[in-house]
Copies of this chain bind each other. A is one copy, B any other.
Amino acid sequence: MKKLELTPLADIPLIQPGDNLAKITVEALSQQGIELLDGDILVFAQKIVSKAENRLVYLPEVHPSDQAIKIAAEVEKDPRFIELVLRESRQVLRKRIGTIIVEHRKGFICANAGIDHSNVSGPYGDPDQWVLLLPEDPDRSAQQIRSEIEKQSGAKIGVLIIDSHGRAWRLGTVGVSIGLAGMPGLVDLRGEADMFGYQLRITQVAAADELAAAASLVMGQADERTPIVHARGFPYPLREGRFEELLRPIELDLFR
C-alpha cells in the first residue's frame, strides 16, 4: 500500500519578478532535508510562477476597449480589469454583478481569467493598482522549472502548477491544475465492461487535478508563504504530459 505524502516547503521567500523558482525550490528542499527521488512531484501555486515571470500589470497603463467598458458597467467592476480579462480570454460564458466567467485562452473555464490581486511588495508602490495575470504558457513554465530541478538534483520528477477555482454547482474553491510537465494530466484506468451495453469502458481519472486539490489543501490559507509543495507517492507512472489532456472537447460540453 503506497502512502501519499504532501509536504509544504518552509521558508520560501516572497517571490519577486526574475526570481529563479527552481533554485529556490532546490535550496528549500535541501534545507528541509528532503532528497528528491524519481517519481516525486513538485507543486507550485500559480501566483509565484506568475510573479517570477513578471506577469504584473499596472492598471493605470491599461486602456479599456468599448466592450470592456460596457461589460464592466454590467458586472460593476473596474473597466481596466475587465479589459485584461477579455485579453486573456477566448469567450465570455456568464456575466453577473461581481462575476465574469470566461474560457481562458489556455482553454479552461474560470472566473476573471484567473487574474488576481497582486499583493506585490518590494519595488512596486501603489499595490492596489497592480494585478497579476496567469503565466503566459503554464506548461512551458512547468517544463522550465522541471528541467532545471532535474539538472540540479538528478531525479526524474514531475512539476504541477495549480490555481484555486470555484465550481459550477458547489461552493468553495478547490485546487486544480493549469500547467504541468513530466507527469500525466489524465490517467486511463482499466477497461470495465459496461453492464448495459457490455462494451468495454475506459474510466479516466483526472490525476493531476486530484493532486492539485491535495497540494492546495496543504498550501492552505498561507499560500503566499507555503506556495511550493513536495509530493511523494503519486500512484501513477510519470510520463510526458500536457495540460490540454484535461480539457473537455466542446462537442462533449453540455454546460457551456
Contact = CB atoms under 8 A, between A and B. Distances in A.
Interface stretch (A133-141, A143-151, A169-177): A169-177
A1 B5 contact: no
Number of copies of this chain in the oligomer?
2
A160 interface: no
B226 A1 contact: yes
| Shortest 7 CB-CB contacts between residues of A and residues of B | A172-B206, A214-B214, A213-B213, A168-B255, A210-B217, A210-B213, A94-B254
Interface stretch (A14-22, A50-58, A60-68, A243-251): A243-251
A23 to B, nearest CB: 20
Contacts of A9: 1
Interface in A90-142: 94, 96, 99, 101, 108-109, 117, 128, 131
B3 A170 contact: no
A171 B109 contact: no
Nearest to A204: B172
B207 A247 contact: no
A40 to B, nearest CB: 14
A44 interface: no
Interface of A: 1-10, 32, 77-78, 81, 94, 96, 99, 101, 108-109, 117, 128, 131, 164, 167-176, 185-187, 189-190, 192, 195-196, 203-207, 209-214, 216-218, 220-221, 226, 233-236, 245-248, 253-256
Contacts of A185: 172
8 contacts: A5-B5, A77-B196, A109-B168, A170-B246, A171-B247, A172-B186, A210-B216, A217-B235
Contact of A218 (B173, B235, B254): B235
Contact of A205 (B32, B172, B248): B172
